[in-house]
A and B are shown apart, each in its own frame.
Chain A
Amino acid sequence: MKAGFISLLAAVALGGCGDPQPTSPPAKPQVAPAATNVPARSYPTRGVVRELPGGDKAVIRHEEIPGYMPKMTMELTVRHTNELAGLNVGDEITFTLFADADTHWIESLRRVKAASALVPEPPSSHQAALTPKLRELQPGDLMLDAELLTETGRTVKFTDFRGRALAFTFIFTRCPLPDFCPRMGNRFREARELLLNRPNAPTNWQFLSISFDPDYDLPPVLANYARNYRGTNPDRWLYAAASTNALAQIASPLDLKYAREGSSISHNLRTVVLDSTGRIHRQFDGNTWKAVELADALAQAAGVTMPKLPTP
């Protein structure tokens, strides 16, 4: 308690008398990077303040930064925290993003439009505002279409798999927890093994592992990662990445949840089987399902394990 009181006094004293200059890591250039030898690149951009969590952070929904980042909402580090003074959630701002090999920061924050004029923030805690734009999909519903970037750099859509039963799940290659993404990889490997070795099994099926991390999981990264689970046989198992926009379209309908936490992503697990006409056949939530259940669902969705009609 007393120590707390003393440190409180110390904090007050420091706060009162300290240098008002914001603290920043000494390694970073203090002036515009162009004037230093650190090869940071600068990107003038524009966005809306979504959250001001305190400290030197600001959560900003920014516009596309050509050549660097798609339109997205990110927590950014503000170099000069005095530039945050007077900013409110909802303000439209311009700023310059600086990025070098291992860090980023933003400077020159300027409000161009005040909050109320721009963002019609729906009142919180009102059901109307929360009604999802897209309802959750049930078995029998048609899957929404979205474009993905494959491990070979091609663009592929969900509808491209029509005619085959499709099992897809969501992962990211930097996912560290063995019972999350790696478990999805292992279940897919086992299920594919079961289907390949099952006598009279259908052949019109496909596995698709989709990354939530399109900026990091570029095609070569995915192709490399795929080998951990697929070995040298890529037969009917594709890896692809979903763009932020594609994810935003399909997440709600699938009850897929994800949030960036630094270089990691906090997420739940959703594995979906579509039948050969593109309709939801079955959804496996979480990580407790078994490979044989997935293989059976896929075989069924491919339409072949249906009892054959007696020949007249």
Chain B
Amino acid sequence: MTPPAAPASRPRDPVTREIAIFLSVIVLLALGMVLVTAFLRRPPIHVPMPELPSAARKLVPFSLVNWDGRPVTHADLQGKFLVVSFLFTSCSATCTEISRRLEQVQTATAAAGDVQIISFSMDPRTDQPPVLAQFARRWNADPQHWFLLTGEKAEIHRVIEASFLSRDPALVDQPSAGFRQHYAIALVDRSGAVRHYFNGLAPTVSADVLHALHELRKEKANL
């Protein structure tokens, strides 16, 4: 009959609640899994570098000198991925840290042959080729694989500024010549486009660079 309908629906209540609770637990778990997966699959850590240029940047043509005294131009880099850093050899800590990590990148990319490591000097009058050579040897730099570049101050500063870093005119008398985020490591693809900036002082940076290189190699344009 109809009257028992109410009591009959009563026992269904806890069941509905159980199902509801069960379902919400499932939904929450699924959501959690999605979040964890998203977190685990996140791209390599990009430490915020707020003042880096927002517009797409490309390596500009240049003519500089390597630490072994040989001239190097942009033409020598064609078809390679570039791992780029900025240094002054009078530096006490940051350049040492970054160079140690680039040495790891050099070791890890030696066999592939498609990666060129480049360190631009921000203090080129001090960092003449023999000075850079001494620095390069500390990090077992291979003169073919890892260029440490110097040259005319105006030219090398132009290349850094036009291709990679912005500059604070109030700080040009600093050893970094006013370049912001000069502790960055930049990654350039085979077409010469700057694709990533990493915090060169982050402990995981060599792994992050290698991971990003691996991703870039998968792109059609870079095959």
Residues of A within 8 A of B (CB): 1, 5, 8, 50, 73, 122, 124-125, 129-130, 132, 136, 177, 180, 247-248, 251-252, 255-259, 261, 264, 266-269, 285-286, 288
B123 adjacent to chain A (CB < 8 Å): yes
Is B36 positioned at the interface, with any CB of A under 8 Å from its CB?
Answer: yes
Task: In the A-B complex, list the 5 residue pairs whose CB atoms are closest, starting with the nearest.
Answer: A259-B174, A257-B175, A124-B166, A251-B173, A268-B90
Task: Give Cα distance in the complex from A272 to B120, angstroms.
Answer: 25
B125 touches A255 (CB 8 A): yes
Q: Is the CB of B169 within 8 A of A122?
A: yes
- Please determine whether A268 and B172 come into contact, CB atoms closer than 8 angstroms: no
Complex Cα gap A1–B40 (Å)? 7
Q: Could you give 10 example pairs across A and B, Cβ below 8 Å? A: A5-B39, A73-B170, A130-B167, A130-B172, A136-B153, A177-B92, A257-B88, A259-B176, A266-B90, A269-B126
In the bound assembly, the distance between CA atoms of A137 and B7 in angstroms comes to 100
User: A125–B175 contact, CB under 8 A?
Assistant: no
Q: State in angstroms the CA–CA spacing of A177 and B96 once bound together.
A: 14
A266 x B175 contact (CB < 8 A): yes
- What residues of A have a CB within 8 angstroms of the CB of B130 in the complex? 288
B158-177 with Cβ < 8 A to chain A: 161, 166-177
Are B53 and A125 in contact, CB atoms less than 8 angstroms apart? yes
Partner of A267, one of B36, B127, B172, B175: B175
Residues of B within 8 A of A5 (CB): 36, 39-40
Contact A285 to B176, CB < 8 A, known contacts A122-B169, A268-B90, A269-B90: no
A266 and B170 contact, Cβ closer than 8 Å, known pairs A5-B36, A255-B153: no
Note all chain A residues with C-beta closer than 8 A to B40: 1, 5
A124 touches B168 (CB 8 A): yes
Asked whether B88 lies within 8 Å of A268 as measured between CB atoms, the reply is yes
- Cα distance, A5 to B40, chains bound together (Å): 9
| A252 in contact with B172 given A5-B39, A268-B90 (CB within 8 Å) | yes
Whether, in the assembled complex, B5 has its beta carbon less than 8 Å from a beta carbon of chain A, the answer is no
Whether the Cβ atoms of A285 and B168 lie closer than 8 Å is: no
Identify the closest chain A residue to B180 (Cβ).
A124
Q: Given known contacts A124-B169, A257-B174, A286-B127, what 6 new A-B pairs fall within 8 Å (CB)?
A: A8-B39, A124-B166, A132-B172, A136-B153, A257-B90, A259-B176
In the bound complex, CA of A286 to CA of B129 (Å): 12
Chain A residues positioned under 8 Å from B161 (CB to CB): 125, 130
Contacts of B174 in A (CB 8 A): 257-259, 266
B14 to chain A, nearest CB (A): 33
Q: Report the minimum CB–CB distance from B107 to chain A (whole Å).
A: 24
**B29 in the interface (beta carbon within 8 A):** no
With A255-B153, A286-B126 in contact, do A266 and B92 touch (Cβ < 8 Å)? yes
Q: How far is the CA of A2 from the CA of B47 in the complex (A)?
A: 19
